[in-house]
Structure 1
Amino acid sequence: MASHAAMSIDAIKKEMFKSMAKKLEIEKNSSPTVFLNQFRKKGMILVVDEIDMLFKNQGGSAEEWFSTLIEWCEDKELPFSMIGISNSVNDINATTIRELSNTPHELVFPTYNEEDLLAILEKRIGKKIVDTKALQLIAKRVAASTGDARKALEITSNAVDKALDACTEKWLEEVEADSYPLVKMPQMMRAIREGMPTRHEEIIRGLPQAAKVILCIAVSLGKVWGPTAAVSIATLKKYACQATQHAMLDEASLGQITNLVEMLMDSGLLTTDHDGCFNFNANDHSSRLHIGVQLDDVEIALEKSLLEESSFYRSLVDYVKRECPRPEYQ
């Protein structure tokens, strides 16, 4: 059956009647009265997938049709039951379904977590085409938002398209096994920005103050030092303490600083790797973060939220620009 979004309510009715008639071996062109008479002698369990989309796209007419199906379910002389599958649980469409269904039996499945999504992606596209870190990133981002496997696959497909667009025809013809993975972090991050627009400003405002300080220092260092900028947890703490004039984080352990960095990474605000050259290990405090690859929209959000609203955070950025020259080894 065609998707609900592409069909009118009358077309949906017609297609459903035809499909049901075929399954029950009833003449597909029968009138509704004849259909119901034959229907009473048969029996059916109807499964309607994405039932929430029916309401989202068809509105009141969908309610009318859905009410008819509910009447059939409640008709004790009609051997008919219905199972509705919906991605919506707590929105207005889900509420409408509950109201029209007269408190139906519900079974709510948890959304896919990061491990589930990663397994689905690897099964669909393998481990060769897309860099492992890029797959882990999209799995983490989608798990933190909707847990929708289709969204993860859609964004990954977009990342593959971006990688292919960047390749020449000659390269594709001559590509060898060691040229993979085709999709790396830059393509995946661009696909994520397009497919999952994030309100970074709101996320930044909701961070604890210590995390805001680390974000300001890390992003500023990356901007001052350039695209190859890298810094250890210990150095990041040192600059944060100096920039705040030792008013914050002096007592924080390196483990606590690492936890703040991981919080920023999980929020999509701090990107610590770009091309696989830096393998950040949270358990190794000498491991260096690749901080020269921050997303432009994170820098813009940082400017609009913390830096415009507080002279304190502006002073942190000014300190980095003034007192933290690029190290010679960078």
Structure 2
Amino acid sequence: MPSLIETEKKCNQIHSSPLKKRLRSSSTPESSITTPSKLDSSPEKWKSPRKCIHSSPNSPNGKFNRVCNGSEIRLVKSPRKRLIDCFPQKPKWNPKDTAQMSSVKEALHVSKTPSAIVCREEEQKRVLEFCKGCIQEGRASSLYVCGCPGTGKTMSMEKVKQNLLDWVKEAGHEQPNILAVNCTSTGKTNEIFNKILEVYQPGKRVNGASSALQHLQKLFSQKKQASNGKMMLIFADELDYLITKDWAVLHDLFMLTSYPFSRCILIGIANALDLADRFLPKLQALNCKPVVVTFRAYSKDQILRILQQRLTALPFDVFHPQALELCARKVAAASGDMRKALCVCRSAIEMVEADLRDSSSTMNLSQPGNASSDLFKAPLTDCLLKQETNIVRVDHMTLALSRTFKSTIVDTIQSLPQHQQIVLCSMVKLFRGTKKDTTVGELNRSYIDLSKSAQIPPAGFLEFSNMCRVLSDQGIFKMGQSRDDRSKRVTLKVDESDIMFALQAIRFFRNCLQ
């Protein structure tokens, strides 16, 4: 009589498909099946590539790089998850802690100089190599740094100055005299020559700025007098402040580097991108054309990286990653001004502080015995109670951006009467789907529902129709033609984001638009 194992083997041979036979032929011997320790060494069951991709990474054999049928399949994360992974997980901050709040605001302050200036390494390297070459050769020359405001020019030049002094000390060169001057601090444009002379020859007294310029010109024209002096490095920030009608001051300043025995290394810094086009041809004709280094506006990725660098030093998380990305994208599209991005982030911090004040006052109003006639200070909804107040969210950043990049339509919407604002809020809610327009009747029903939810008596249809006509006259709506007012088609002529920006300062609308 055949054993039970032999019978089962015959059944498997009869009913097995060709695929199963191939898999079984490559598996381990039957003797290994009875040994539990050898189960892990047996090959995995064949899976389709689709199942391998969608299988859970938390399963016992789950890995991010799976092997399916001999080929490696890499799981691809969504951009949102990749953005979150860029930020190390840290405990969230406590906005009620004054010490933590102060440290956050200090980290995001414009005057805060980070230990390393990121995203400007190439520009710093070019300026530093220029200065090194001039000092090594004892050669006078000039360089012009230009770029839009907030692109890191001044901060980068400070870093270049520090690195240059370190290099001079290590290389054993004589340390140059350094003058860092902001041209806006000079009372008269030609006073900069007095400042140069004071550093190059301390204690030297001359009468008037013109005499200082003449003395410098004479000094750099005579070998005997100039050879005894050190090299002099001049950082002239806000150089475009020295522009005069005849360009005389700028002309004389750059000409100081062209004299045969000059010891000056001039680095001019300005926002004017076209200054080089307007002024450099004259300098080129006089053989003193400066090297030009342009600081381009920051991109979205660069702004995001700089913000991350400033926030990494904090021992807690302050911003949601998507909130920072929104700030970086908006500022990069508008101007690429890093100072503007820092101001927006600080404004978003203030939004969190305002939320905390509102929530504490609302909790006090909701206590027994307290009542308020202000309908916009009603008890918080469950949705608002569940929101995080210990991190800067996307809605905080949206409101901060709206205040920074406010358009005229935002001011118009904020000045509208309350019921007209409710009409706009109703329209935004209606258009959140695929709809691009609606009828006056449908908009009226949405307006009534929203008014009742706020316990505000809705206006009658005649008054509602007049409100729509007023909004149309102001260019916010576009109303079609129809004999029946309820059948008229209504279309928004402004961006929904502008309406959300304008109304999110009021808690009632903020809750409705979330």
Normalising by the residue count of structure 2, what TM-score does the alignment of the two structures yield?
A: 0.34
Query: In structure 1, the residue corresponding to 2:491 is in which secondary structure?
Result: helix
Aligned residues: 221
Match of 1:153 among 320, 323, 342: 342
Asked if the contact 1:17/1:28 (under 8 Å) is kept, the reply is no
Larger Rg: 2
Q: Any stretches of 5+ residues in structure 1 without a counterpart? A: 172-177, 202-219, 245-299, 319-329
Letter in 2 for 1:44: M
2:189 touches 2:249 (CA, 8 Å); kept in 1? no
Q: Percent identity?
A: 16
In structure 2, which of residues 173, 184, 188 is the aligned counterpart of residue 9 of structure 1? 188
Gap change, CA 1:70 and 1:11, over 3 Å in 2: closer
Q: Residue in 1 aligned with 2:394?
A: 185
Specify every segment of 5 or more residues in structure 2 that has no aligned partner in the other structure, as ranges.
1-179, 207-211, 361-387, 411-421, 440-469, 482-487, 493-513
Residue-by-residue CA offset, 1:102-132 (whole Å, 9 max, x unaligned): 4644233432110100111121134722232
Contact 1:48 1:84 in 2 (8 A): yes
Which of 213, 221, 224 is matched with 2:426 structurally? Answer: 224
In structure 2, distance between residues paired with 1:30 and 1:301:
70
Cα offset, 1:46, TM superposition: 2.5
SS of match in other structure, 2:273: coil
User: What is the root-mean-square deviation in Å for CA atoms of aligned residues?
Assistant: 4.7
Q: In the alignment, which residue of structure 1 is the partner of 2:293?
A: 107
Secondary structure of the residue that 1:65 maps to in structure 2?
Answer: helix
Residue 161 to residue 65, structure 1, CA distance change in 2 (3 Å): farther
- Residue 274 (structure 1) aligns with: none
Is structure 2 residue 489 aligned with structure 1 residue 315?
A: yes
Paired residue for 2:267, among 83, 86, 90?
Answer: 83
Deviation sequence 1:205-229 (CA, Å, 0-9, x none)? xxxxxxxxxxxxxxx99832677x7
| Contact in 1 for aligned 2:226/2:261 (Cα 8 Å) | yes
Name the CA shift for 1:169/1:116 in 2 (closer, same or farther; >3 Å): same
Given the superposition, is the C-alpha separation of residues 193 and 5 from structure 1 closer, same or farther in structure 2, using an over 3 Å criterion?
farther
1:83-105 Cα offsets, whole Å, 9 max, x none, are 22333324xx5655446644644
**Residue among 232, 244, 251 paired with 1:44:** 232
Residue 332 (structure 2) pairs with residue 143 (structure 1): yes
Farther-moved stretch of structure 1 (97-106 vs 136-145): 97-106
The amino acid that maps onto 1:49 is D
Cα deviations by residue, 1:181-211 (Å, 9 ceiling, x for unpaired)? 1x3334433332333344779xxxxxxxxxx
Match of 2:305 in 1: 119
1 or 2, which has the higher strand percentage? 2
SS at match of 1:108: strand
In 2, the alpha carbon distance for the partners of 1:130 and 1:101 equals 49
Cα distance in 1 for residues equivalent to 2:338 and 2:426: 38
Structure 1 CA distance for aligned equivalents of residues 183 and 471 of structure 2 = 37
Separation in 2, partners of 1:3, 1:49 = 5
Structure 2 partner of 1:27:
202
Partner of 2:110: none
Give 3-state SS (helix, strand or coil) of 1:85's partner. Answer: strand
Distance verdict in 2 for CA 1:2–1:80, change over 3 Å: closer
| Higher helix proportion | 1
Aligned match of 2:403 in 194, 203, 207? 194
Q: Aligned equivalents of 2:262 and 2:280: distance in 1?
A: 22
Over 3 Å counting, the alpha-carbon distance change for 1:99 and 1:165 in structure 2 is farther
Query: Is the partner of 1:60 in helix, strand or coil?
Result: coil
Q: Secondary structure at the match of 1:106?
A: strand
1:60-85: CA deviation from partner (whole Å, max 9, x where unpaired): 28944322212212323323332223
Q: How much does 1:144 deviate?
A: 0.9
Distance 1:10 1:131, change over 3 A: same
**Whole-Å Cα distance in 2 between the matches of residues 29 and 169 of structure 1?**
63
Instruction: Give the drift of 1:135.
Output: 1.4
Q: How does 1:212-251 map to 2 (within 5 A)?
A: 223-224=425-426, 231=432, 235-236=433-434, 239-240=435-436
Q: 1:302 & 1:101 partners in 2: Cα distance?
A: 58
Tell me the CA shift for residue 133 of structure 1: 2.3
Distance in 1 (alpha carbons) for counterparts of 2:300 and 2:205: 49
1:142–1:148 contact (8 Å) kept in structure 2: yes
Normalized against structure 1, the TM-score is what? Answer: 0.50
Alpha carbons of 1:14 and 1:109: their partners in 2 closer, same or farther (altered >3 Å)?
closer
